[in-house]
Amino acid sequence: MNNFRFTIWQRIFGGFSILLLLFIVGAVTLIVQLNQNVAQIDEYTEVVQPSVENLKEFRSLANSSMRLITSYVYFQSENQNDAAKNSLRKLHSKTYPAIKEKLISLSEGWQGDKETSLEILNNTFAAMDSMHKIEQRIVSSLNDKNATEKNILVQEAGFQIQMQALNGIFEQIKIDLEVLIENKKIAGQQTQDIVNSASVTLRNETIFVSIIAIILGFILAFLLAQTIISRIKIVKDNIKKLSEGILPRFEKYKDENANIQVDEIGEMEIALQTLILGLKNTSDFAKEIGQGKYQSDFTPLSERDILGNSLLKMRNNLRETEYSAKERRWKNEGTMLISDILRNSNRSFEEITDELITALVRYLEANQGGFFLKEQEGRHEQLRLMAYYAWEKKRFLNSTIQIGEGLTGQAWQEGQTMYLTDVPKEYVAITSGLGKANPRSVLIVPMLLNKEVYGMIEIASFKKIEPYQIEFLETIGETVAATLSILQSNITSNRLLEESDQMTQQLRAQEEEMRQNMEELQATQEEMSRVQKELQYRNELIQSSYYLLELDYKKNITIINDLAVDVLGYSKATLLERSAFGIFAQEGELQQGFNTMAQGTIWKAETTMLNRIGEEVWVQAIGVALFNNSGTIERYVLVLADISQLKANETKIKEQTTKMEDVRNAEKRRSEYALQAQKSMLEKLLAKHSAEKEEFQKQIKELEKKK
């Protein structure tokens, strides 16, 4: 028959129950005493201490008020005066009412001689209100005064009396606040004395309870140590070794089939032994991972084995990371290779594409490849094979592909990558010295930039092309497309620049020719006939640049170009057969021009035309009369150039000149006024100085007489 034995839990629970009972008795006593202390501390923290702080803040407020009014009265700087006045206004309207409200609220909880303290506090509030009223009167009296007027007013006796009264009130406020602060400090000290006395009592009671608890604790600890501590020490030593990274040898329970009765510590020993064996296996597995052996087998202690399962997950992640790192490194090296080729862009398309396809086929370890560029063939676009590479040899072929034609044309039409592993036999064959063979895979990648296809890259290989290689080629396609776009833009820009230079030279030649024609127009009547024939050849240019009018001998409009119709705002039918005097503002000037032309002389003048809504359009007019063989006028020809913008600019310049002159005159008057004001001020100061000097000399003479 086995003897009854307490388990470790029962032993510990019994011992701690005795200690707990002792602690409960002591705790009740402590709680009662602590509640009394808390009440005293609450009064100190919620009433006494805030009252002292707010009274000190009130005292600081009074000091600030006195300092600000003094600054406002005696400082001469306008900025300092404005700052002091604004600070005073804020102090009167916001800061002081807030502190006053706090102190009134706190005063309701004051203890001791409460009535006396409240009377002093109310007197202080009344004094502060009086102080504010005096400050407001001072600010009002000095407001809008310049420095001289302010100095005179400050020296007056009435003003000095106000400042003395203000200073007296301020001193009384300081005295009252010092009394209140001292009273509150005394009340706080009394509260602290009460709390300290209670704390001493609490300390003595705590010491007594602690001594009893310590004695009982030692007795219980001695009894438990005989049966628990020695075994726990063994477990502790092994756990300590584990914490230092050491795997101890702990094989107390070797026979798993033995009928062993164990308590809680025995269960801990079994669990510790299992943990040590598991950590050893885990350590061996971690070493293999560190050596790069990612195929090693490992079985976690259980499904909830965090360390073991984490190591398995880490092994798998490291294996995937290694593969990903190799792919990234491969992509980066390939990108650098292609970038080096593209960086040297001072070559033809043929040279660049030939080097690109050679580098891509070799880097992908493929067998052949083609590089197609999009080009414009008439009104249609097509792909042209720019470079071809196969089995370490360059192939020079001439091939074009239309959109939708074959696999390459389909990939171009769709603008998407095409990857084939089941390649048709008739599609392509890789040729070598041993014969021909179909590739295992074909990859066709469009060179896209902003969804526009610039060309196609086609790769054929006996090996499978991996997804990361396809992604690399798509990225390279974008880079190559961007470079090709820049090269095409440069070529187009150079071509347009050359065309622009040619057009500029042509326009200059035409301008020179027009100038000569205008000079010839002014020569003679016979030369005018030849010029008229030449003007017919240049009619289109003149029609788009000048207003052209042709009048019959009655001065009615027979021909008018579209540019003149647009600027006048009438319909062309309305203007035809109408008198030219109806569209010119200066009829007298126009009549004088007709007289000049009737004499066989070219008429030149700046005049104005009237559009449909009555607005004037300034024009530079050149007119000539054409005579028949009998010497009579057959018709008039007027060439008009629009100079409205030029006239508008002249008007703006005149207006700006007038404004600048007005500003200059105003600035001159302002300077004269300022100079006169300074002169007047100096005269006043000299007069004042002379009077003070005479008074001072009189005082010296009186003193000398007294001596």
Q: What is the DSSP secondary-structure string of 70-138? A: HHHHH---HHHHHHHHHHHHHIIIIIHHHHHHHHHHHHTT--SSHHHHHHHHHHHHHHHHHHHHHHHHH
Model pTM score? 0.36
User: From 3.40.640.10, 2.120.10.70, 3.30.450.40, 3.30.70.100, which CATH number describes the 349-495 domain?
Assistant: 3.30.450.40
* Lowest model confidence (mean pLDDT) among 199-208, 481-490, 651-660, 679-688: 679-688
pLDDT at residue 415 is higher than 80? yes
pLDDT of residue 7: 62
For the chain, the domains span 10-220, 247-252+263-343, 349-495, 522-642
Query: What's the sign of the alpha-carbon dihedral 501, 506, 509, 514?
Result: negative
pLDDT of residue 261: 46
* Contact indicator for 184, 48 with CB cutoff of 8 Å: yes
pLDDT of residue 76: 55
| DSSP 3-state percent helix, strand, coil across the chain (nearest 5) | 65, 15, 20
Condensed to tens digits (0 to 9), the pLDDT of residues 469-484 reads 888 888 888 888 888 7
Condensed to tens digits (0 to 9), the pLDDT of residues 649-668 reads 777 777 777 777 776 777 66
pLDDT of residue 395: 46
Beta strand residue intervals within 535-632, DSSP E: 547-552, 557-560, 603-610, 616-627
Where do we find the tokens 């104005």?
Answer: 608
**Residue bearing the bigger pLDDT, 636 or 16:** 636
Task: Please give the CATH architecture assigned to the domain spanning 522-642.
Answer: 2-Layer Sandwich (3.30)
- Residue 310 DSSP symbol: H
Condensed to tens digits (0 to 9), the pLDDT of residues 242-272 reads 777 676 765 555 544 444 446 666 667 777 7
Condensed to tens digits (0 to 9), the pLDDT of residues 431-467 reads 443 345 677 788 898 988 888 888 888 888 888 888 8
- Average pLDDT value for the chain: 75
Rg (CA), the chain: 55
Condensed to tens digits (0 to 9), the pLDDT of residues 321-361 reads 777 778 888 888 888 888 888 777 667 777 888 888 888 88
pLDDT of residue 685: 66
Compute the distance between CA of residue 219 and CA of residue 209 in angstroms, rounded to an integer: 16
Condensed to tens digits (0 to 9), the pLDDT of residues 285-321 reads 676 667 666 666 666 666 677 776 776 777 677 777 7
Can you say whether residue 557 is alpha, beta or left, with left for phi > 0 and alpha for psi between -120 and 50 degrees? beta
DSSP states along 219-231:
HHHHHHIIIIIHH
pLDDT of residue 284: 67
522-642: same fold as 349-495? yes
pLDDT band at 504 (very low <50, low <70, confident <90, very high): confident
Condensed to tens digits (0 to 9), the pLDDT of residues 580-590 reads 888 888 888 88
pLDDT band at 393 (very low <50, low <70, confident <90, very high): very low
